[in-house]
Protein backbone atom coordinates (compact mmCIF):
# COMPACT_ATOMS: atom_id res chain seq x y z
CA UNK A 1 0.00 0.00 0.00
CA UNK A 2 1.35 3.45 -0.92
CA UNK A 3 2.06 6.11 1.69
CA UNK A 4 -0.74 8.25 0.29
CA UNK A 5 -3.27 5.44 0.67
CA UNK A 6 -2.11 4.86 4.24
CA UNK A 7 -2.61 8.56 4.84
CA UNK A 8 -6.19 8.31 3.54
CA UNK A 9 -6.92 5.45 5.95
CA UNK A 10 -5.44 7.43 8.81
CA UNK A 11 -7.56 10.50 8.07
CA UNK A 12 -10.71 8.42 7.78
CA UNK A 13 -10.10 6.98 11.25
CA UNK A 14 -9.89 10.40 12.93
CA UNK A 15 -12.97 11.53 14.92
CA UNK A 16 -15.01 14.34 13.36
CA UNK A 17 -13.93 12.99 10.03
CA UNK A 18 -16.43 15.26 8.28
CA UNK A 19 -13.81 17.96 8.80
CA UNK A 20 -11.48 15.88 6.70
CA UNK A 21 -13.98 14.80 4.05
CA UNK A 22 -12.73 17.21 1.43
CA UNK A 23 -9.11 16.28 2.05
CA UNK A 24 -9.90 12.57 1.92
CA UNK A 25 -11.83 13.00 -1.33
CA UNK A 26 -8.98 14.95 -2.88
CA UNK A 27 -6.46 12.37 -1.73
CA UNK A 28 -8.47 9.49 -3.19
CA UNK A 29 -8.62 11.23 -6.56
CA UNK A 30 -4.95 12.08 -6.35
CA UNK A 31 -4.01 8.51 -5.47
CA UNK A 32 -5.84 7.22 -8.52
CA UNK A 33 -4.16 9.79 -10.75
CA UNK A 34 -0.73 8.98 -9.33
CA UNK A 35 -1.26 5.22 -9.76
CA UNK A 36 -2.44 5.63 -13.36
CA UNK A 37 0.38 8.03 -14.15
CA UNK A 38 2.96 5.74 -12.55
CA UNK A 39 1.72 2.74 -14.54
CA UNK A 40 1.85 4.74 -17.77
CA UNK A 41 5.35 6.00 -17.01
CA UNK A 42 6.57 2.47 -16.28
CA UNK A 43 5.18 1.28 -19.61
CA UNK A 44 6.79 4.18 -21.48
CA UNK A 45 10.12 3.74 -19.70
CA UNK A 46 10.12 0.00 -20.45
CA UNK A 47 9.28 0.59 -24.10
CA UNK A 48 11.97 3.29 -24.38
CA UNK A 49 14.56 1.02 -22.77
CA UNK A 50 13.77 -1.83 -25.15
CA UNK A 51 13.51 0.38 -28.22
CA UNK A 52 16.90 1.95 -27.44
CA UNK A 53 18.54 -1.47 -27.88
CA UNK A 54 17.35 -1.34 -31.48
CA UNK A 55 17.52 2.27 -32.64
CA UNK A 56 20.15 3.56 -30.22
CA UNK A 57 20.17 5.42 -26.93
CA UNK A 58 20.97 8.79 -28.48
CA UNK A 59 17.78 8.66 -30.53
CA UNK A 60 15.69 8.33 -27.37
CA UNK A 61 17.65 10.63 -25.08
CA UNK A 62 14.98 13.35 -25.29
CA UNK A 63 12.22 10.90 -24.41
CA UNK A 64 14.11 9.61 -21.35
CA UNK A 65 14.77 13.18 -20.25
CA UNK A 66 11.05 13.98 -20.50
CA UNK A 67 10.22 10.93 -18.36
CA UNK A 68 12.65 12.17 -15.70
CA UNK A 69 11.04 15.61 -15.74
CA UNK A 70 7.67 13.96 -15.22
CA UNK A 71 8.74 11.96 -12.18
CA UNK A 72 10.37 14.79 -10.23
CA UNK A 73 7.35 17.10 -9.67
CA UNK A 74 5.15 14.12 -8.81
CA UNK A 75 7.60 13.02 -6.12
CA UNK A 76 7.78 16.54 -4.67
CA UNK A 77 3.99 16.73 -4.51
CA UNK A 78 3.75 13.37 -2.79
CA UNK A 79 6.28 14.39 -0.13
CA UNK A 80 4.48 17.71 0.42
CA UNK A 81 1.15 15.91 0.97
CA UNK A 82 2.73 13.38 3.32
CA UNK A 83 3.92 16.28 5.45
CA UNK A 84 0.72 18.31 5.14
CA UNK A 85 -2.39 16.51 3.77
CA UNK A 86 -4.13 19.84 3.09
CA UNK A 87 -1.78 20.24 0.13
CA UNK A 88 -4.06 17.84 -1.76
CA UNK A 89 -6.61 20.68 -1.95
CA UNK A 90 -4.12 23.27 -3.18
CA UNK A 91 -4.08 24.66 -6.73
CA UNK A 92 -0.48 23.42 -6.90
CA UNK A 93 -1.66 19.80 -6.66
CA UNK A 94 -3.96 20.25 -9.66
CA UNK A 95 -1.20 22.05 -11.53
CA UNK A 96 1.35 19.32 -10.91
CA UNK A 97 -1.00 16.52 -11.95
CA UNK A 98 -1.90 18.44 -15.11
CA UNK A 99 1.80 18.74 -15.91
CA UNK A 100 2.39 15.06 -15.18
CA UNK A 101 -0.49 13.92 -17.37
CA UNK A 102 0.63 16.16 -20.21
CA UNK A 103 4.21 14.91 -19.93
CA UNK A 104 2.96 11.31 -20.02
CA UNK A 105 1.05 12.02 -23.24
CA UNK A 106 3.91 13.93 -24.88
CA UNK A 107 6.50 11.30 -23.89
CA UNK A 108 4.36 8.51 -25.31
CA UNK A 109 3.83 10.43 -28.55
CA UNK A 110 7.54 11.26 -28.89
CA UNK A 111 8.49 7.62 -28.37
CA UNK A 112 5.92 6.40 -30.90
CA UNK A 113 7.07 9.02 -33.42
CA UNK A 114 10.72 7.94 -33.07
CA UNK A 115 9.72 4.32 -33.50
CA UNK A 116 7.69 5.03 -36.61
CA UNK A 117 10.56 6.99 -38.19
CA UNK A 118 12.87 4.03 -37.62
CA UNK A 119 10.38 1.41 -38.85
CA UNK A 120 9.21 3.37 -41.88
CA UNK A 121 12.78 4.26 -42.84
CA UNK A 122 13.94 0.66 -42.62
CA UNK A 123 10.99 -0.60 -44.65
CA UNK A 124 11.56 2.09 -47.28
CA UNK A 125 15.29 1.44 -47.59
CA UNK A 126 15.18 -2.34 -47.75
CA UNK A 127 12.03 -2.15 -49.86
CA UNK A 128 13.97 -0.24 -52.49
CA UNK A 129 16.57 -3.00 -52.63
CA UNK A 130 13.83 -5.64 -52.70
CA UNK A 131 12.37 -3.93 -55.76
CA UNK A 132 15.78 -4.05 -57.44
CA UNK A 133 16.01 -7.76 -56.71
CA UNK A 134 12.50 -8.44 -57.98
CA UNK A 135 12.95 -6.47 -61.21
CA UNK A 136 16.33 -8.07 -61.87
CA UNK A 137 14.93 -11.52 -61.01
CA UNK A 138 17.73 -12.14 -58.55
CA UNK A 139 17.77 -15.53 -56.81
CA UNK A 140 17.26 -14.10 -53.32
CA UNK A 141 14.55 -11.56 -54.17
CA UNK A 142 11.71 -13.62 -52.70
CA UNK A 143 13.66 -14.26 -49.50
CA UNK A 144 14.32 -10.51 -49.05
CA UNK A 145 10.63 -9.77 -49.59
CA UNK A 146 9.74 -12.39 -46.96
CA UNK A 147 12.28 -10.96 -44.51
CA UNK A 148 10.84 -7.49 -45.05
CA UNK A 149 7.32 -8.76 -44.31
CA UNK A 150 8.56 -10.48 -41.14
CA UNK A 151 10.20 -7.24 -40.01
CA UNK A 152 7.00 -5.29 -40.65
CA UNK A 153 4.95 -7.75 -38.60
CA UNK A 154 7.41 -7.62 -35.69
CA UNK A 155 7.43 -3.82 -35.62
CA UNK A 156 3.70 -3.07 -35.72
CA UNK A 157 3.93 -2.01 -32.08
CA UNK A 158 6.66 -0.76 -29.79
CA UNK A 159 8.68 -3.55 -28.15
CA UNK A 160 7.57 -3.34 -24.53
CA UNK A 161 9.51 -6.39 -23.36
CA UNK A 162 13.03 -7.75 -23.83
CA UNK A 163 11.54 -10.68 -25.75
CA UNK A 164 9.73 -8.48 -28.27
CA UNK A 165 12.85 -6.30 -28.66
CA UNK A 166 14.96 -9.37 -29.38
CA UNK A 167 12.42 -10.46 -31.98
CA UNK A 168 12.83 -7.13 -33.79
CA UNK A 169 16.64 -7.44 -33.68
CA UNK A 170 16.32 -10.96 -35.11
CA UNK A 171 14.17 -9.63 -37.94
CA UNK A 172 16.77 -6.92 -38.66
CA UNK A 173 19.45 -9.59 -38.81
CA UNK A 174 17.16 -11.49 -41.16
CA UNK A 175 17.03 -8.49 -43.49
CA UNK A 176 20.81 -8.18 -43.53
CA UNK A 177 21.15 -11.89 -44.19
CA UNK A 178 18.65 -11.64 -47.04
CA UNK A 179 20.75 -8.87 -48.62
CA UNK A 180 23.82 -11.12 -48.43
CA UNK A 181 21.86 -13.86 -50.22
CA UNK A 182 20.13 -11.57 -52.69
CA UNK A 183 22.38 -12.53 -55.59
CA UNK A 184 24.10 -9.25 -56.36
CA UNK A 185 27.48 -10.18 -57.80
CA UNK A 186 30.97 -8.71 -57.95
CA UNK A 187 31.88 -5.37 -56.43
CA UNK A 188 28.22 -4.31 -56.33
CA UNK A 189 27.27 -7.33 -54.23
CA UNK A 190 30.17 -6.86 -51.80
CA UNK A 191 29.42 -3.16 -51.45
CA UNK A 192 25.66 -3.52 -50.89
CA UNK A 193 26.08 -6.25 -48.28
CA UNK A 194 28.59 -4.09 -46.41
CA UNK A 195 26.27 -1.08 -46.71
CA UNK A 196 23.33 -3.02 -45.27
CA UNK A 197 25.52 -3.96 -42.30
CA UNK A 198 26.76 -0.39 -41.79
CA UNK A 199 30.39 -1.09 -42.68
CA UNK A 200 30.72 -0.01 -46.32
CA UNK A 201 33.94 1.66 -47.46
CA UNK A 202 33.31 5.06 -49.14
CA UNK A 203 36.21 4.36 -51.50
CA UNK A 204 34.09 1.66 -53.13
CA UNK A 205 31.76 4.38 -54.43
CA UNK A 206 34.40 5.18 -57.05
CA UNK A 207 34.44 1.69 -58.50
CA UNK A 208 32.82 1.86 -61.97
CA UNK A 209 30.38 -1.02 -61.41
CA UNK A 210 29.23 0.31 -58.02
CA UNK A 211 28.84 3.86 -59.36
CA UNK A 212 26.89 2.64 -62.38
CA UNK A 213 24.59 0.55 -60.19
CA UNK A 214 23.84 3.44 -57.81
CA UNK A 215 23.40 5.93 -60.65
CA UNK A 216 20.78 3.65 -62.20
CA UNK A 217 19.08 2.97 -58.84
CA UNK A 218 19.01 6.28 -56.92
CA UNK A 219 16.34 4.92 -54.55
CA UNK A 220 18.92 2.54 -53.09
CA UNK A 221 21.07 5.42 -51.81
CA UNK A 222 18.99 5.66 -48.64
CA UNK A 223 20.17 2.26 -47.53
CA UNK A 224 23.82 3.25 -47.55
CA UNK A 225 25.55 3.59 -44.20
CA UNK A 226 29.08 4.35 -45.26
CA UNK A 227 31.92 3.74 -42.84
CA UNK A 228 33.89 7.01 -42.72
Contacts 24+ apart (CB under 8 A), 147-153: 147/171, 147/174, 147/175, 147/177, 147/178, 148/123, 148/175, 148/178, 150/174, 151/122, 151/123, 151/126, 151/175, 152/119, 152/123
- Cβ-contact 178, 199 below 8 angstroms: no
pLDDT (mean) for 146-158 = 94
Domain boundaries, the chain: 3-114, 116-223
Average pLDDT, the chain: 80
DSSP structural state of residue 159: -
Tens-digit pLDDT profile for residues 19-71: 556 666 666 676 677 677 777 878 888 888 999 999 988 878 888 777 777 77
Residues of the chain with pLDDT > 70, as a percent, come to 82
- Confidence check: pLDDT of 227 > 50: no
Amino acid sequence: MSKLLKLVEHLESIPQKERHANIVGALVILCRSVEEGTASLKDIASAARNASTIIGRDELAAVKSAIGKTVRPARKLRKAIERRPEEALSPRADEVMTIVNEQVRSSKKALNDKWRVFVDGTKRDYGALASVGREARLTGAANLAFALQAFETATNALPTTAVSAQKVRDRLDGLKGAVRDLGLEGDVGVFMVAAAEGRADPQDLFKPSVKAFLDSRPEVWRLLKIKL
